[in-house]
Amino acid sequence: MKRVLALLLCLMTVFALASCGNSNSDPGTANSPNASAPADGGNASTDVEPVKISIATPTADGNPMQDLVYYFEEKVDEILPGRVEWVNSPTSTMGSEREIGEQVMDGTLDAALVGPSNIISFAPMNAVRLQDVPFLFQDQDELYAATDEWYRDMINAECEPYGFTTIFYEYIIGQEIENTKRPIYTPEDVKDLKIRVYDSIGPYKFLEACGGLPTAMNFSEVYTGISQGAIDGLYTTTSNFVPQKFAEVCKYHTKLTITNLGMTLMFNLDKLNSLPADLQDAIYEAAALTEAYCRDELGPQTRENVYAEIEAAGVEINEVSEEQYQVFVDLIEDYCYDELREEIGPEMWDQCVTWLEEYRAGQAS
């Protein structure tokens, strides 16, 4: 009997100790004031593996448009630190604008900086062509206002069926001509000049109207083409001339803004939609900040400094007068506006022209 009682007492002691041990492992104690907090403050996002986002551009470091891409990336990183691993490929290392645009469409690249008018070389559409019509938009302010009010939506509606969208637009400075032969003051001065143009209707029409010879060539081949005499000059964004070293091989720069198109960061839609919602929001927030920075700071600074930089590089700058400017405008309007209205589409064209008339009237009042 004593042995039985002793055994019972031992069993009761074991059960009591086990019960005490279970109470110490009660999940409820994790929320007690004395519980240890996670080392990262409970923020699980710090443990998220960074998402790789690849961006290819045709522009070199030091080019304001390339700087704008880096600014956009910095803003995403400020909003969501450590969430993105950026893979940058500047200076056409992934191909021409057409090639990198096609890679975004098929998902090989996530994003690319492309001139909106160049989009039509791999994704035929009409809205982007409006800004590539010579002298249609007079300056960057008009393009920013149109983009904010209706133009962005019009472009993206045409982009979506091709599997991409636009993230931000830059309208830093317009497009002009630099050449090795002579100053340009009149359409006759353009005659017979072999000028490299990007693959779009605007520069082709301008040069044809003036008797010039538009020449297609990859952007990465232009420097060699000019230095070897294959072409006489190029038609491109004015801020490209010094960073891309074209000032080393050209003698004359004509201060005549022919078109005011910018570039856009196009983004593969499947990639964008696959990102977490907070990262998508950060990308759009950073895009808005980038456009504001471009409009209010980078653009004005670039336009103020660019001609001094071109001149300092040893290039002679000639500026057309208002009267000479109007000669070019009248020539282009007569030569191709009716044709371009039909090609782009009367509805889009008339919407743009009507809006420009109303916008300019409002600015003048």
Same domain for 195 and 248? yes
Q: What is the DSSP string of 207-231?
A: HHHHT-EEEE--GGGHHHHHHTTS-
**Domain presence at residue 19:** no
Q: Do 81 and 212 belong together in one domain?
A: no
Please name every residue paired with 317 in a beta bridge, in sequence order, or none if there are none. Answer: 253
The domain tally of the chain equals 2
* Residues of the chain falling short of pLDDT 50: 1-45
Is residue 137 located within the same domain as residue 203?
no
Establish if 360 belongs to a structural domain.
Answer: yes
Same domain, 117 and 189: no
The pair of three-digit structure tokens given for residue 44, joined into one six-digit string: 């699980």
Dihedrals phi, psi of 209, to nearest 5 degrees:
-60, -30
Domain shared by 198 and 247, yes or no: yes
Is there a domain that residue 43 lies in? Answer: no
Give alpha helix (H) positions in the chain: 2-24, 64-79, 97-106, 140-146, 152-159, 187-190, 201-210, 222-227, 269-274, 277-293, 299-312, 322-332, 338-344, 346-364
User: pLDDT tens digits, residue range 128-160?
Assistant: 999 999 999 999 999 999 999 999 999 999 999
Do 204 and 214 meet the contact criterion of CB atoms below 8 Å apart?
Answer: yes
Strand order in the sheet with 233-237: 213-216, 194-197, 233-237, 175-179, 252-259, 316-319
Same domain for 68 and 82? yes
Sign of CA dihedral 203, 226, 182, 319: positive
Strand partners, 165: 267
Residue 16 lies in a domain: no
Q: What is the pLDDT of residue 3?
A: 44
Nearest-angstrom CA–CA distance, 268 and 258: 31
Same domain, 231 and 253: yes
Give, rounded to a whole angstrom, the gap between the first and last alpha carbons of the chain: 112
Rounded to the nearest 5°, which phi and psi values hold at 50?
A: -60, 145
pLDDT of residue 48: 82
pLDDT at 184: 98
Q: Give the pLDDT confidence of 232-290 residue by residue, as tens digits.
A: 999 998 988 998 899 999 999 999 999 998 899 999 999 999 999 999 999 999 999 99
274-277: long-range pairs with CB below 8 Å, 24+: 275/51
- Whether residue 180 is contained in a domain is answered as yes
What is the extent of the structural domain holding 190? 175-261+316-364
CATH of the domain at 63: 3.40.190.170
Report if residue 102 sits inside a domain.
yes
Identity at 302, one-letter amino acid code: T
In a domain, 169, yes or no: yes
So what's the pLDDT on residue 261?
Answer: 87
pLDDT for res 169: 96
Task: Give me the residue label for tokens 């910018």.
Answer: 262
One domain, residues 162 and 69: yes
Same domain, 231 and 102: no
* Strands lying side by side in the sheet with 111-114: 84-89, 51-56, 111-114, 263-268, 164-170
**Residue 30 placed within a domain:** no
Burial grade of 70 (CB within 10 A; 0-12, 13-18, 19 or more): middle
Q: Are residues 194 and 328 in the same domain?
A: yes
Alpha carbon distance 39, 356 (integer Å): 57
292-317 core/surface letters (b: 16 or more CB in 10 A; e: else)? ebbbeebbeebbeebbebbeeeebee
Same domain, yes or no: 112 and 150: yes
267, 353: one domain? no
Q: Which helix (H) or strand (E) holds 320?
A: none
